[in-house]
Copies of this chain bind each other. A is one copy, B any other.
């Protein structure tokens, strides 16, 4: 019951780019600042660039920056970009189809937690994340 490492990394990196949006940052800087595995980050950032969440430019003075305003980037956008869709319809017990008419044994109990998670993912933007000097990234 948690995010994948990839999701964690993506959120942390994008949050960092938002907080330091005055300039672009190389993968190496992100790697050092956030203590994330360099080569894996390279791969991830390429993916996020393809999906249009970040601008990537090569060469000297190149690097990465947010492609859109942080208040238009929702957590669900980030998950989608890395191939982890919202799974609105994903059944908690893994069944293909599971709804009120044709429920799994846990369907009713899962309704509220599911809603809360969904709300969190669809209403939280990068810009709305906690940010102060003490906040962990």
Contact = CB atoms under 8 A, between A and B. Distances in A.
A124 interface: yes
Interface of A: 1-3, 5, 8, 11-12, 15, 87, 90, 92-95, 98, 102-110, 112-113, 116-117, 119-120, 124, 128-131, 134-137
A2 B103 contact: no
Sorted from nearest, which 8 A-B pairs have the closest CB atoms? A113-B116, A105-B129, A104-B136, A116-B116, A113-B117, A8-B94, A109-B124, A105-B130
Given A104-B136, A105-B136, A108-B130, 20 more contacts: A1-B1, A1-B2, A1-B87, A2-B87, A2-B92, A11-B105, A15-B105, A93-B136, A95-B136, A102-B134, A103-B134, A103-B136, A104-B130, A104-B135, A104-B137, A105-B130, A105-B137, A106-B130, A112-B116, A113-B113
